[in-house]
A = this chain, B = another copy of it.
Amino acid sequence: MQEQTDPPDEPSPGLVSTAIQAIIQHIRSEGLAPGDPLPSEAAMTRQLNVSRTVVREAFRSLSAMRLIDMSAGRRATVAKLDTGAMSMVIEHGITTQQISVQQVYDVRRTIEMRTVALAALRRTDHEAAAIGRSARLMRENFRNPEAVMEHDIAFHEAIAAASHNPVFSLIVTAFSGVTRRTWVIGWRTRSSDEAQLKMIKGHEDIADAILKGDPRLAAEHMAEHFDKSVKALIDAGIA
């Protein structure tokens, strides 16, 4: 029936895993770039000599990790770097209580202390403007917590983007989901308008430092921001 590349008898990892590896191998050996099309399911079925069921589950797995894009009628294509999978992993860790929100914040702080410094050094004018704009929109919408949160998230993602290192962007964006779940808690602990506006001011200070191109100052403001955020979460009883 089917036996072609299995001289050393292994404890079968399953046909699907094999198919996944074959597809990844195909991407590598062909040097495919994002957007390039992969073989059709039928072609892969013939090549691997397995059923379409297996090939489909393999494609679907890669799609779940956002390594490829699938859509009806079209062949699957190599995907652009995307945070989807990473985000799911983090969320899973939180919902199953394997990691705490505070631990995520510690990682965020560590990473964003760096992204903010890099952003100050490498940001384009356009990026600096986008960062400033998010900060401004936080203030303008400050009566609408939901909007403030979204601009806050956009603010941090914009800084990561301005670091010009997509790996930082990837990680920061992956944490955005967690932020959406906990942000409002921190906001509520800042009970007075004054406290809330002060927090927004902190963002503006960061944006200014990036605009001025001062990495040290930017990192200082970012550290302060995180320290206050973590304190707010602790005050609210988030483990």
Contacts and interface: CB of A to CB of B under 8 A. Distances in A.
Given A81-B89, A110-B110, A165 B96 contact: no
A170 interface: yes
A165 B65 contact: no
A103 interface: yes
A16 B95 CA distance: 22
Interface residues of A, number: 49
A140 interface: no
B167 A103 contact: yes
A103 B92 CA distance: 27
Interface string A26-64: 011000111000000000000000000100110011111
12 contacts: A27-B95, A53-B53, A57-B57, A60-B60, A65-B85, A81-B93, A82-B89, A85-B86, A85-B89, A98-B166, A106-B165, A107-B167
Interface of A: 16, 20, 24, 27-28, 32-34, 53, 56-57, 60-67, 78-82, 85-86, 88-90, 92-93, 95-99, 103-104, 106-107, 110-111, 114, 165-168, 170-171
